[in-house]
Amino acid sequence: MFFDNVILGLEVAMTWNNLMWCFVGVFMGTLLGVIPGIGVLAAISMLFPLTFQLEPTAALIMLAGIWYGTTYGGSTASILLNVPGTPSSAITALDGYPMAQAGRAGVALFMTTVASFFGGSVGIILLMGFSGTISQMALQFSSTEYFALMLLGLIAASGMSSGAMIKGLIMVCLGVLFGLVGADIYTGTRRFTFGLVDLADGIALVALALGLFGVSEVIASVGKISSKGIDPESVRFRAMKPTRDDVRRSWFPMIRGSAVGSFFGTLPGTGPSIAAFMSYALERRVAKDPERFGKGAIEGIMGPESANNAADQTAFIPTLALGIPGSATMALMLGALMIHGIAPGPQLMTDQPELFWGLVMSFWIGNLMLLVLNIPLIGLWVRLLTIPYQWLFPVILMFVCIGTYSVNNSSFDVLLVAAFGALGYGLRHLSFPAAPMILGFVLGPLMEEHFRRAMLLGRGDPMTFLERPISATVLMITAAILLWGLYGSMRKSGAS
């Protein structure tokens, strides 16, 4: 039965029409992923009207191709320019950009493509073989469990960036505060909106990430234009070749990243961005020499890039197996089905096997296309660095503005990018790290949402966190990590 379905899926995916739309999807996706700011939701939104004219399978294959294609392309700008191509690859900039500065941009781009393919493959295998089981498992996760997981992530990630711990904590808190802006989802009360309707839904992640990383990088480079020329050697094909050490260090991060990514992909409400953050935190936590992170550690790009691509694929599990779209983008995919009169829901897999299996098998084809498409392009992307900054940076700023605007068609968001760019520049001068701020911004509001909902569902009894087995286990692990960290720092201060 399984192999019948696989063959059925291949038959559907291998028709010329579907192959073509798959290529269009992944090509557009990877291109839009490279361009900073234009994230997956904006890309899919723009191409959504096109799907009206397509038959539903082709439409979904194309939209899905854009979805995972952007994640492939997203790391490019993060690595080369310290400007995240998509929010889910913001974390890749932490170690990818130092690698590029050390003349190893080719290696970083090559290895992230491999990591992306690896993570994507793991995700597809899970999607093919275990959709039913995994979607049932995902149902076990309610707000109580989400809160415990987020807390684990935040604790594991504390001290995520290099530099003083206290500065990192301040930045996490600042991020949480920015995350609080907008309507309180429980009471509708407006928080820190200053009466502006544009702030009612809070600050857009894309504005914050692009401002802190991208725009501040551009500002900081003003006046340093002629300081460094690019080494022509690093553009050659040979420079893409990873060292034996690179390969050895990459295996476990890829496996761990794929596991983390697959897990967070299946949970509605999390997704590739959180998966990438969590994976980075995990790599730093398990590394023997965490001080290498933030200075071009290859583990710091391999984990997150496997994680976000794995999450991209497993995000289809709740969407297709339960009819529960985990994110706005997944909801859009189901919307494309509704247009064609197909009711998205738990029966999709049995009622529309051609569609389900055709789509799943197209993921293999799409991922292979991306691999083949991206590796030859690396040389071209790296050559971008040879463009003098006075030409390159204005273009980047333009794309940042277009990209931010396109998410909500909001000029207010463009102003926010400028404001966060200025803030990021100031913080950089005071050597406050930006990554913990983004972590606080993403996790803080989610933790609040889930804590308060868990308390509502638990009728105000905080014991609910310990009574539910999954949440209790996760909280115990969190406590163990916290105690271990405290013990370690106490011993260190005792010794000195």
Which residues form the interface with another protein (CB under 8 A)? 41, 44-45, 48-49, 52, 138-143, 183-188, 190, 193, 195-198, 200-201, 268-269, 318, 322-326, 328, 331-336, 338-339, 341, 343-347, 408-410, 449, 453, 456-457
Count of residues in the chain: 496
Beta strand residue intervals within 322-477, DSSP E = none
Decide: helix, strand or coil at residue 341. coil
Can you read off the two tokens belonging to residue 155? 């604790």
For residue 213, give the DSSP letter: I
Question: What amino acid is encoded at 39 in this protein?
Answer: G
CB 258 within 8 A of CB 115: no
User: How near is the Cβ of 373 to another protein at its closest, in Å?
Assistant: 26
User: How near is the Cβ of 180 to another protein at its closest, in Å?
Assistant: 15
Question: Looking at beta carbons only, is 200 or 395 nearer to another protein?
Answer: 200
- CB count within 10 Å of CB 323 equals 17
d(CA 44, CA 24): 12
Question: Looking at beta carbons only, is 183 or 219 nearer to another protein?
Answer: 183
Specify whether the backbone of 328 is left (phi greater than 0), alpha (psi in -120 to 50) or beta. alpha
Question: Looking at beta carbons only, is 200 or 486 nearer to another protein?
Answer: 200
User: How near is the Cβ of 51 to another protein at its closest, in Å?
Assistant: 9
User: How near is the Cβ of 269 to another protein at its closest, in Å?
Assistant: 6
User: How near is the Cβ of 141 to another protein at its closest, in Å?
Assistant: 8
Can you read off the two tokens belonging to residue 459? 């009728």
Task: Give the contacts of 46 (CB within 8 A, at least 6 positions apart).
Answer: 406
Strands 190-191 and 182-183: antiparallel
Question: Looking at beta carbons only, is 111 or 150 nearer to another protein?
Answer: 150
Question: Looking at beta carbons only, is 79 or 443 nearer to another protein?
Answer: 443
User: How near is the Cβ of 468 to another protein at its closest, in Å?
Assistant: 10
Phi, psi for residue 191 in degrees, rounded to 5: -115, 125
Question: Looking at beta carbons only, is 197 or 495 nearer to another protein?
Answer: 197
User: How near is the Cβ of 471 to another protein at its closest, in Å?
Assistant: 12
Question: Looking at beta carbons only, is 45 or 101 nearer to another protein?
Answer: 45
